[in-house]
Amino acid sequence: MEIIFDIKGSTGIIILNRPRALNALNLSMAEQLTKKLKEWEKDNKIKRVLLRGEGNHFCAGGDVKSVHLSGEHSKLKRDFFSKEYALNLQIKKFPKPYLSIWRGVVMGGGVGLSIYGDYRVATEMTKFAMPETSIGFFPDVGGSFFLSKLQNNIGKYIGLTSEVINSRDLLNFGLATHYCPENKLDDFIDNYISDGVVGNYKTSISSLFSDEKLDFINKNFSGNIHEIFNNIVFSKDPYSILNKLKNKCPMSLAVTAILIENSKNKTLQECLESEYSLSQKMTARRDFGEGIEAVLIKKHHNPQWEPMTIKEIDKNELENLFISNIDNELVL
C-alpha cells in the first residue's frame, strides 16, 4: 500500500508509504488522500489529522519521473497536476487540526501536502527545499503563493536557488510552526494523537542565514531574473549565489522570478490555477525531460538546457508561457 490510513482514538493518521522513493506522491496517492480527507471532514469522530512519511523521510515531492516517462501528450500530465493542486487547496480549507511531521526530506509536492495545514513540525534532520528549477520546472503546489508571502525576498531566493533549509531557518521564516528533536518525536506524536496537544521544543540548530546575508538577499532579489543576476554580479557575489544558480534551468529561473513577483497579492486558489496552466506548458518543453533525465534518472547532473544561459532566453517564448488557453485551464 502506497498510502496507509488509520484511526487512533479521534485522530486520523496518514502515512505516505513509498520509502524507497522517499515517499514521492503519485496520482493514486493524491486521489486516495483527497477521498479520505473528504470522508474525515464529515466524520464527527475524527477531531484531528496527523500526516507523516514512512521511514526517515517525509516526502521528496511529486512523482515527476512518472509524469515525464508517461510521454509528452499523456493524460497523466493533466490528471496528476490538476488533482495534486486541487488537493493542496482542499488541505488549506480542511476545517480540523492538520499536523505534518517534517522529518528528513521535505520537498516540492511534499511541501504542498503539509504547508497549508495548521502545524508543520521540523526536527534536526529536516531538509526542506523547492528544487524545481533544477529539473526545468518551477516551484508549484502553490509555491508562488507561500514563497511570495515570505518577507524580504527570501521566498524568491528559496525558489530560485533550490537551497536546502534547516529547521532553525524554517522556524525563523515561518515555514515550520514547531520543532521537536528526533528523540522526543514518539512522545510528541503520542500526545497529539491522544489529546491534540502540540508540544514545542527549542532547537540548538544554527541558522545558515546571517543578518548580513538576509539583508543581501532582500536588496538583490527584487525584479526579474536579469535584474537579480546583474545585482549579484555588481555586488561581487559575497555568498557565492551565482554558483548555486549555474546548473539551474535558465527558463525555469526566469519563470520563477516572474511568478513569485506577480503572486504577492493573489489567493492560493488563484496561484494554483495559474500554476496549472504553466505546468502544462513547462512539462511540454524539452528542458523538463532533460532535467528529469539528468537529475532523477541518469543522475549525471549535467543537463543541456535550451537555452543554456539567461541572456539567450527568448522574450516572446517567456511571455507566452504565462498566457493561458482553454486547453490548459483549471478551475478549482
What CATH number has the domain bearing residue 7? Answer: 3.90.226.10
Q: Say whether pLDDT at 302 is over 90.
A: yes
Catalytic residue among 12, 53, 61, 62: 62
Q: Please give the tally of structural domains in the chain.
A: 2
Same domain (yes/no): 181, 269:
no
pLDDT (0 to 100) of residue 118? 98
Residues 182-196 have a mean pLDDT of: 97
Q: Say whether pLDDT at 95 is over 80.
A: yes
Residue 270 is a catalytic residue: no
Measure Cα distances from 25 to 47, 63, 87, 274, 306 in Å: 25, 5, 12, 21, 28
Same domain (yes/no): 215, 191:
no
Residues 269-275 have a mean pLDDT of: 98
pLDDT (0 to 100) of residue 326? 75
- Conformation bin of residue 84: beta by default, left when phi > 0, alpha when psi is -120 to 50: alpha
Same domain (yes/no): 189, 220:
no
Backbone phi, psi, residue 283, to 5°: -70, -20
Same domain (yes/no): 54, 185:
yes
Residues 243-263 have a mean pLDDT of: 97
Same domain (yes/no): 45, 186:
yes
Same domain (yes/no): 231, 263:
yes
Same domain (yes/no): 180, 273:
no
Would you place residue 175 in the very low, low, confident or very high pLDDT band (cuts 50, 70, 90)?
Answer: very high
- Inter-residue contact 332 to 89 (CB < 8 Å): yes
Catalytic residue among 53, 104, 108, 109: 109
Residue 195 is a catalytic residue: no
Measure Cα distances from 52 to 11, 19, 49, 314 in Å: 13, 11, 10, 42
Residue 109 is a catalytic residue: yes
Same domain (yes/no): 181, 46:
yes
**What's the pTM?**
0.96
Asked if residue 277 is part of any domain, the answer here is yes
pLDDT (0 to 100) of residue 73? 73
Mean pLDDT estimate for the chain: 97
Asked if residue 139 is part of any domain, the answer here is no
Would you place residue 329 in the very low, low, confident or very high pLDDT band (cuts 50, 70, 90)?
Answer: confident
Strands 3-8 and 11-16: antiparallel
Q: Say whether pLDDT at 143 is over 90.
A: yes
Contacts of residue 226, defined as CB under 8 A and 6 or more positions apart, other chains included, come to 310
Pairwise CA distance, residues 6 & 1, whole Å: 13
Pairwise CA distance, residues 72 & 74, whole Å: 6
Asked if residue 331 is part of any domain, the answer here is no
Asked if residue 221 is part of any domain, the answer here is yes
Would you place residue 260 in the very low, low, confident or very high pLDDT band (cuts 50, 70, 90)?
Answer: very high
Angle between helices 225-234 and 154-161 (to 10 degrees): 100
pLDDT (0 to 100) of residue 74? 82
pLDDT (0 to 100) of residue 328? 82
- Inter-residue contact 58 to 103 (CB < 8 Å): yes
% residues pLDDT > 90 (the chain): 95
Q: Say whether pLDDT at 211 is over 80.
A: yes
Catalytic residue among 12, 61, 117, 132: 132
Q: Say whether pLDDT at 138 is over 80.
A: yes
Asked if residue 29 is part of any domain, the answer here is yes
Q: Say whether pLDDT at 275 is over 90.
A: yes
pLDDT (0 to 100) of residue 325? 82
Catalytic residue among 53, 61, 104, 140: 140
pLDDT (0 to 100) of residue 272? 98
Q: Say whether pLDDT at 39 is over 80.
A: yes
pLDDT (0 to 100) of residue 87? 99
Same domain (yes/no): 117, 30:
yes
Asked if residue 144 is part of any domain, the answer here is no
Same domain (yes/no): 187, 233:
no
Same domain (yes/no): 70, 177:
yes
Please measure the distance between the N-terminal and C-terminal CA atoms of the chain and give it in whole angstroms. Answer: 29
- Domain hosting 224: range is 211-324
pLDDT (0 to 100) of residue 72? 74
Residue 306 is a catalytic residue: no
Asked if residue 290 is part of any domain, the answer here is yes
Q: Quick: pLDDT tens for 65-82.
A: 999 998 877 899 999 999
Same domain (yes/no): 119, 68:
yes
Asked if residue 154 is part of any domain, the answer here is no
